[in-house]
Structure 1
Amino acid sequence: MRLSDASVVIRPRSSWEAMDLGVLMAREHRQLLMSSWALVTLPVFALITALLWKYPSTAMFLLWWLKPAFDRLPLYILSKALFGETPSLKQAVRQWPRLLNGQLLASLTWRRFSLSRSFVMPVSQLEGLDGHSRQKRLGVLLQHNAGAARWLTIIGAHLEIGLWFGCMALFYLFIPQQVELGWDWQRLALSTSNEALWLEHLSNAFYALVLVFWEPIYVACGFSLYLNRRTVLEAWDLELVFRRLRERLSSVAPLMLLLIAMTLLPFSPSAMANEAKLPSPASASQSIKSVLENPPFKNPETVTRYRFDGEKPAAENKPHGDGKLPAWLQALLDNLNSNAFKHVAQGLEVLLWSLLIAGLALVVWRYRDWLQTFVSRRGPPPNVAKPAPMQLFGLQLGTETLPEDIASTAEQLWASQPREALGLLYRGLLSRLLHDFNLPLKSADTEGQVLDRVHQLQQPQLLAFSNELTQHWQNLAYGHHLPPASVQQKLCSDWRALFSSGGA
């Protein structure tokens, strides 16, 4: 790896600037990255779909789960392209099976849910570290930029979902209106049979296409974060500066050596230094003794109290502002760091997690009906047959309360009790609708709602008779207007014609 051959400027960057560099790298090699990703992932996706045709959700889950295995290919391409060794499409695709050899099982199991996956993936693939050495390396790398890597994964997941829904919405907009009119979307969405399989597999295909566009960008951003962290740790920018300086000086090095040699040549005969006057032994001994009697060699101190062995003397006249905390504050912090407060902190942590879980459970329970309606894949509950109402509008509808020949009985009642005669016909109509036509009438239905349900039967003769009888019944019940004699006879005749001579 020659840093001087790097295709990008090697310098320390902020986390977000480093990820922006990753986007630029992905854009620079977008054709190679997207085409290689498509050639590797789409055949695998087609194979999974064919094998799990009846389980589209499982097929999509497997495609999502295998993303770390697919991510190794764009990382390989970017690592080669960084130093000017960009592989061809054929070389990259051929290299992918070899890239799966190292630590694939770990990448697909306990490391699969790591939010820093794109940031730490080069440690395993490019540096080849594993085990304890990998953990030590990650301990150094994750001291910085780990938060940005986690945010990259979180934002990337939301972006994937947004692009996925956008593709499905775009597909819906391109459906011709004539074709769409014949589709029952609610039935397709709630169906659990083979009718909805093609729709789910189509949505899976949209997700696979979204990954072709987004996943190389995600890998490039994580790789750029890794490069930025190594630049800071290993001072790659300074190394490049020194290398350039060495290259500049290599051409003028002989001239500089010549100048240095000329400056060292003697131009005059060397002169003997004058002999320095040496001090006498007595004065030298006195000087040494005076030095040893003073600090830092000797520090005399007068103590007027008992002091235990190992106790440090209290500092007197200690100047303020020495950067140390007051004694009471230091004691408080020491108490907070004690084991007792650690147990209290653990208890508070357990309490907070319990409150969070309880809150989530409360939200799920509060909106359980909404979740069952819009989230659950199960179809609507089967319709349970409800017992027919025995009374409507204050009228008894049981067959045992009606005479055998309703029309004849009504004719006998017209002269003396017209209200009971018309009520008998209306009761008979409602009873017929309930028991013969199985019309789902409810005790809270109005006359208009009953007519709407009769209209759904698509029987014009029954609908016309029901409209006429209901109108006269309402005029009598609410307006106290009796129907004329001709209408009375017509209602009885229509009853016989409609219900086979009036048998109840």
Structure 2
Amino acid sequence: MRIDQLNVNLRARSEWEAMELGTALVRRHARAIWLPLLYVGLPLFAGVNALAWWTDSFFLAWLLMWWLKPVSDRLALYVISRGVFGDEPTPWQTLRAQRRWGWNGFWGYLGWRRFSPFRSLLLPVNLLEGSDATHRGQRRRAILSSAFSHATLLTTVCMVFELVIVAGLIACIFMFVPFDLLSDSWRAAWAMVTELMPPWAKLGVNFFFWFAATLISPFYAGAGFALYLNRRTEMEAWDVEIAFRRLRDRLQQAAPLLVLALVLVWPLGGLHAQESPEREQAQQCAAPDSHGDDDEAYEDEEEDEDSDTVPADDPSNTAEVIFGGPRPDTAGFRQAVQRAYEDPLITPTREVTTWEPTQEKDKEKKEKDKKDSDANANRKGPKLPAQIAEWLLWGVVGVLVIILLATSPWWIRWLRGSGARRAQAASAVHEEAVSIPDVVPPDPAARARDLWQQGRPRAALALLYRASVDSMSERADVVLPPGATESQCLRASRRMPEEADRTLFARIVRVWQYAAYAGRLPETDEFDELATTLQQQFRWRA
């Protein structure tokens, strides 16, 4: 494996970052992954479910599709393992490669390892490494040593995602059901599931599970492959190896330049070596002159700095001239000098202790602090604006205090409770129990107008609704069950032959619902017009 050709940044990642890298790889190679899955999955789904329709064994069809999910993981793993090296295969290349790619280590995942929660992490060991059966167990244990918990969690999360997708697809069906029919549709669906599900419903459920597995399976395989790469990086230090390989490549590129530099520098070194004796002779010949020049320069500098200084090579600055005779014994002279320095009369030492008053020091310190504060104040600017702001604030506080004192007769009584206003006793709320009458009078419109004028609008609307239901039942030739809801009445009203009757009945139902459940009563004119229309349309007695 040429790990230096990987187009992903290999580094020590946490398991969560590794799984996120796997999902990113799946999104990068989405077309190359899902097209082979559809080419293989659609014919397999059609054939298995056609056989299940013929034998009425849809559960076995679902179980077989679930058992063959490692095949889809295998397809996704092939594409991702080539894509990380920049060699993304086409869908047909992926399909052709399945005939000879990694079948020796794959049969276990269609057998006894099918229930393993570590399939996404261990499948690359069998399919990508190409090791024999004796070493696969050791490799699987090594790869699984510190990532088994995350592999198990990845399997659980992907299962939950598949169930959520299936539940969402089933719920989408009921989004297209009208709200009035929703409760009946739920009951009918539940009865169909619990009692006897038709074949088309079983086929739809199998399709939902196949669609969810096809959608989630590549992400499952990609996250497991990224976990596998992360474990290989941790165990084998792939990131360090890649860094050294890149360093080697850079040195190989720079090697010709280094050789050329050595070739160019080597003759120059030989020439210098040959010329060195001649240079030494020239320097020996020029040495006296150079020393003379240096001495002259040194003397000029000394004269400029201090004209009284005697040069070191002056003949008068010798021991014979100074002491007026032959050179004395140097060791004896040094001993005499040492004894002279040790004489207490020449170099006396003593310790002197003085007392100083601390008050003067404190005073000096205070004066220094005062000077520093004055200097800081001068640097900060004048104090007048700050003083003016302070005076204004104190003025505002004074005005507030004066206002509080002036209004004290009112708020002091309020605090004590003697000046509090007594809340008026709330009037009792009279609630009228509105019920739909069981017996409709012969003239419901006139009776409803009397109830409206008596101040009982809800009872008037209940009477009109009850009379309209009876008229609807007669014209639609239906028998409503006791306690029928508004929705059941509306569904029954669709059997009335005339469109005007259906529209008017829907109107009285809507007005009654607004009044009964939302407290929205119609205006008086609107109520009179509705009662008159109902009386004329349903031919009630005046």
- Under a length normalisation based on structure 1, what TM-score does the superposition of the two structures give? 0.49
- Under a length normalisation based on structure 2, what TM-score does the superposition of the two structures give? 0.46
By relative contact order (CA 8 Å, sep 6+), the higher-ranking structure is 1
- Answer 1 or 2: which has greater helix percent: 2
